[in-house]
Amino acid sequence: MKSITNRLYTSSLTALQKAQKTIWWLLKIILPISLLVSFMQYWGIISQIAILLKPAFSLIGLPGESAVVFISSMFLPLYAPIAIIATLSLSIREITILAIMCLISHNLFVETAIQKKTGSSFPIIFILRLVCSVTAAFILNQLLPEHLGAAHAAQKALEFSNMGDMLINWIKNAGFLSLKIALIVSGLMVLQNILKEFNALNSISRMFAPVMRILGLSADSSFLWFVAQTLGLTYGSAVMIDEVENKSISPENANFLNYHIAINHSLLEDTLLFVAIGVPIGWITIPRIILAMMVVWTLRFILKFYVKPGNKQPEII
């Protein structure tokens, strides 16, 4: 019988070998997109797109210039849109509406590609997140008090005098991001393998099973749901892809989970980023959870009553 030390070593080594493949796959998507967006910002393309969206943003209680925040969030992690928010004179009410839009649709292209790799439809998830971000913003605009907070003090935006400075800044940020992805993905894969080796995942599934039932998800979604809420889709992708490829979760249940976490994920880090700049936590947390539940239960209802007879139905917990 293997010793605990040997089991830990074997599990860790196997995990690191798997992590390399996922890290490389992530970087091949993330780095080109971030470079493209850097050029688009430098050339003013994103600002031009934002101008076109001004009329639509007025319908959800936001000034036209805030559109650049949402557009940036679609291409990049939340650090970029938060940095842009700091340069705009917005009220906490307006930032709260922007925050829920960004929390649902941030890093849209990368994260939707990840969800496609775990079995869901790219166009459906992509459209779902955009529709839900606008829906959530519209609802918040109706519910939020007019005077939620004081105006946000704007800071000077980061500007580059030439393309060389922009590229140097991108290289620095890309290097830091690559290191962060490598460390977090590797660590998470090691943790997952160790939990599997010592049969701890079953305990986690049992612990979160009642919550999963309420959310409309299966018990075998528990660990992946926990990963998505604590580390998000990008950093948690290695575990999600591995679980699906190893058939630790059925394709049907993985799809239900994807619908939920497309709208509601990273309740820890991403939410706290906005809380740190004064956004009330309840207004950007509870609506996402409720909206995700509604989407999953609606999908289950449609599959149960409108799918042709004879097709295999995914079973709830």
Cβ contact 277:85 at 8 Å: yes
* Alpha helices, H only, 118-268: 122-143, 163-197, 201-215, 222-245, 251-263
Of residues 263, 271, 266, the one with CA closest to residue 291: 263
The contacts of residue 60 (CB under 8 Å, 6+ apart) are 97, 134, 137, 138, 141
152 band by pLDDT with thresholds 50, 70 and 90: low
**Band (86; pLDDT cuts 50, 70, 90):** confident
Q: How high is the pLDDT of residue 40?
A: 80
| CA nearest neighbour of 18 among 232, 234, 189 | 189
- Which band of pLDDT confidence, cut at 50, 70 and 90, is reported for residue 128? very high
Structure tokens at 41: 């910002």
pLDDT digits (tens, 9 = 90+) for 236-252: 777 788 888 888 888 88
pLDDT tens per residue across span 264-295: 998 877 888 888 888 999 999 999 999 999 99
Say how many residues make up the chain.
Answer: 317
Partners of residue 91 on adjacent β-strands: 151
Give yes or no for residue 311 having a pLDDT over 70: no
pLDDT at 154: 56
- CB contact set of 207 (below 8 Å; sequence gap of 6+): 222
Predicted confidence band of residue 315 (pLDDT cuts 50, 70, 90): very low
